[in-house]
Structure 1
Amino acid sequence: MTDETPIVPDAKDWTWTIESRCPECGFDASTVEASQLGDAIRSATLPWGAVLARADVRTRHTPGVWSDLEYGVHVRDVCRIFDERLRLMLDHDDPEFANWDQDAAAVAGRYAEQDPETVAREIGADASALAADYDTVTGDQWQQRTGRRSNGSRFTVLTLGRYCLHDLTHHLHDVEAPDVTG
Structure 2
Amino acid sequence: MYGLEGRFLKPDSRRPELAQELANKVIDEVSFARPNFYFTGGEPLVYKHIVSLVGNASKKGCACEINTNGLLLSKFAADLVDAGLSVLTVSILGPSQVHDGIVGVPQAFDRVIEGIEAILQAKARRRSLKPVIRINSAIIPENYEKLQDIVQIAEYLRADKLTFIHPR
TM-score, length basis structure 1: 0.29
Structure of greater relative contact order (alpha carbons < 8 Å, 6+ residues apart): 1
Which has the larger strand fraction?
2
Which has the larger helix fraction?
1
TM-score, length basis structure 2: 0.30
